[in-house]
Amino acid sequence: MGEIVDYSDDRIPLPSCEGGVNEVLRHRNTRAQNTLSAFSKITLVSVMIWLLSVASIGWWISQAIIKVELKDVAASADYESTTTAHVMDRVFTEMSSIANMVAGNADVIKLAVKYRTDPPGFANMTRQQRAVEFTRDPLVRKVGDVMNRLAGDLRYARIYMNNMSDDTVTASNWAESDSIVGMIYSGRPYLIEALRTGKGSSFGIARLNKTPSYFVSSRIDDENYEAHGSVTVKFDAPDVATYLTGHHTALIVNRQGRVITSSLSLFMLRNIAQLMPEGTVLPPDGEEELGEALDIHAVPHQSYENLWFIDGKQYLVKRRPLSGTHYQLFTLASLEQIDPMRRQHFWITALIGLLGIVFILLAALAIRHSSLRRQDELYAANYDVLTDLPNRRAILVELDRLFTLGKRTGQWVLVVFIDLDGFKAINDAYGHEVGDKFLIEAGRRLSEGLRANDMLGRFGGDEFIVIGQVAPPNSDTPEGNADVIRNRLTPLLIGTYHFESCSFEYSGASFGIACVDPSLSSLKLALREADQLMYIDKKSRRKISYITNVI
């Protein structure tokens, strides 16, 4: 006996007749929604990949641009630091040269020898009284006038001469109301150093006008190299600052880290010791205050170690010692343009990202519409528009595949023709809408007798077809498979059909069941055999009343 095939497993559900055509449409809409959901996921992934790519590339390009900008700023700061250092070296060298030149003047030496120490009784006089006594001497006035012309030409604040009693004998402002002639400058470090070594220098706040100033002194020696006093050149810091020209901020800093001259007043007399190399900052010398410390923090950077936040602003800092002095020159190149550049890069990247998203969405929309249209075309080419079952074309394609597969595996091909007897009568009695619902319900019921690998399709009109593979029948019972299939499918269509407007009893359909050996038969022969068997069955059922009205 042939192998009995169990049709009870993995049955394929079809839409219920309760909703009729609307139920079929819902199934199609579900399929379309699944397609749209897949496209939405693909679009979302594409957008995320795009944003990640744009953000990564944008960040890399931004870092590269900023690196080039930092390199340009560093080169500019290096150049400006070098040129400004040369200028300041010349300024301090010139001050020292002028002090030496005046100290070597014959009249100055003569005056210094004459007033090497204060005359008796001077210690009990006021500054003004001492000034009157000094300026009565024509030589004092003559030397003072020379100092005045020289100071005016070189824009020095003052040039003056002190004796061994630290008293100012003459000065470039001897004739002015603010004359310092007669002023005692005892304990001033630059005077002490000049008398001891021949040269002294210092930065301090002037006693009279409270102006931050530079002092450079030279010793006055006679022909025997005996000291008789000193000549001091005073250069006010605001005037020195005029030499600190350039695009960047220049600072002259003393050994305690105090800014003693600045091209930007914000930094003047503040303290930047934190910018100085470790071990180079000296403790207070007792002469001048350290100044209020600036808020300074290092900025970590993989390429530059000289980036700093100074009072909340970012700078690239270059440091260079000034030759012949105890001072250092700091060049602060502002990096305020970096944050706007980053913001600009961010918005450009965001704009590119947004444009890319718009393009992706438009492309996805176009592709989705094209895909849905293609799906509709494929559906229309392969599925019945009413029952949502495979149509004749799809059935023939699958049947051809089954024949090819059967030749390779030895399985037989099953072809079942099903003709819904009395369908015209149903249309005539209840209308085409009920007829359409009847076709859908018939398809649903037939599906209950299918295995997962069987295919049910609408072959046309009121004809359905089932195809699949079965085991070769036993030679003793060649009709075994056909009988099992008939007994399984035939009862499914028999019974009461309920619709909104009517109900009726249906006596069933005509079946033509062919099980063929693919190696001995063909697709056309199998269809013809099933069709002939179906007509034989129909002929035997002609006397049956196919429908009985229930309501």
Which residues does the annotation mark as catalytic?
Answer: 462
Residue with token string 């450009």? 348
H-state helical runs in 230-295: 237-240
DSSP class of residue 118 equals P
* Separation CA 514–CA 416 (nearest Å): 6
State the amino acid at position 278 in one-letter form. E
Residue with token string 């009284």? 129
User: Which backbone phi and psi does 166 adopt, to 5 degrees?
Assistant: 65, 15
In sequence order, the 6+-apart residues with CB closer than 8 A to the CB of 293 are 270, 271, 272, 273, 274
Task: Give the residue among 102, 107, 108 at the shortest CA–CA distance from 156.
Answer: 102
DSSP class of residue 280 equals -
Structure tokens at 196: 């001891």
In sequence order, the 6+-apart residues with CB closer than 8 A to the CB of 425 are 546, 547
**Residue 456 to residues 77, 387, 422, Cα–Cα distance (Å):** 84, 11, 21
* Separation CA 398–CA 459 (nearest Å): 13
- Residues 201, 215: contact at Cβ < 8 Å? yes
Cβ neighbours of 491 (radius 10 Å)? 12
Structure tokens at 180: 């310092």
* Separation CA 223–CA 225 (nearest Å): 5
